[in-house]
Structure 1
């Protein structure tokens, strides 16, 4: 793998932290993940990764190192990639804030990209919180991967509890593509809990984006305007060592000046605490929206993760 120096740097950093905190016996954590996705355009994605976390001196902050392997396939075309990562997490319980992030290098088809993915969550009061995010990655279509096109996505959201049963969320974001394209994103969500202890919610979501540029000259789905409105129902249930979350929705989308067409969404997650030190989680999702081939694009994904803390 190219960029082996990043692995050496990460190991050296972990070793230095371990020496500084040796007297306090910091705990460690090992994570392993697997991800599989496919769509109606025969584009398949697979990822496998592992990470090692070290808690330096205090539980509220920790650093780690990780790596991922990526595989992409579509109708005889295929690519693979390797990624090395530095990881970090932190929280301030008293202030109600936390952050998490990763930075690294992803290499695929002779093209190398410095990647990052970070989130910071803060509070503005007992019923109001905000979040800022930033990420950078390759655009995952066959044509975009061949050209090495990447995208930067920055944005922020605001969440406010209107009353005990109703919460509103607003997000504004901006995407900047390496091929010169720019996108502005907006999202709104209302979440209603009819019974506070039931784990059941009814949600309304609206999202849109506006692109600069012609869809025909892009290596990815890029209408000048996209709108989607959706009504969803969610349910969360915790029982002993199990936690289950289900979110299902139906809606309408409008691509450019085309007529409105239906959209659908289903997300399911299960988490099992196997022991005090081990957690196994499974997430699966299905989405029907729009893409190159028309309004009936379908996307399916499954993710499995195992955590072991010692």
Structure 2
């Protein structure tokens, strides 16, 4: 029985959704699976149990959404705190709306560098495409098709990582350069948290406080107050039941229609989708290979 550790950071739910499916597939393959979500409460529990930095596994799989062409800060923080080792196999799975286009190709490069220096064997890279949660909404039918594909992607991913299938991607220089330049996002994301404001429609339900993965939101005299540990994941903006949280300067980032994967998933149950040819027409033609070919 292989001991597998899944380490996941997820903002608005796409990465967590895939992690859950992957966990199920690994368990079906007789694996002993431990899941660590890089969120304040889960981290506190793992530290108390002594499993937060534990690398005594046959395989570690790290899953994360692409933030500014790179991995989010909580993932880097966890990896940098890992103890050195002789050889533990590591798989990296990134999630984005853009797929494996050149601007995203280096999103795992920095992690690989740190892990390799510590003695870990990164043998596997993969990009999972999910509906966009910022700037421009993904077409509804395409969003449903992406969710429909997730179980297949999870099954194939589980099979490949258990076989230790070598799957590495050679990143282009311009991609690595862009990712390096975008590291300023690690600083500006903290500022994003400070520009968030609350509308009068706020019901003081505290859902944003409970849901923030960084523990960055506190109630102050009945109103949410944002600290300096924001990673710009947008969870609080989209999870608010009264849509009362909004950024002042960065309003362009937020999708006006909101972002709700659960709603899309439920809608999929009662929808007959168009053909893949119709779904991927126009601006979505780039994703034809992702739908047809599991290697992409």
1 or 2, which has the higher helix percentage?
2
Higher normalized contact order (CA 8 Å, seq sep 6+, divided by chain length): 2
Instruction: With the length of structure 1 as denominator, give the TM-score of the two structures.
Output: 0.24
Larger Rg: 1
Instruction: With the length of structure 2 as denominator, give the TM-score of the two structures.
Output: 0.25
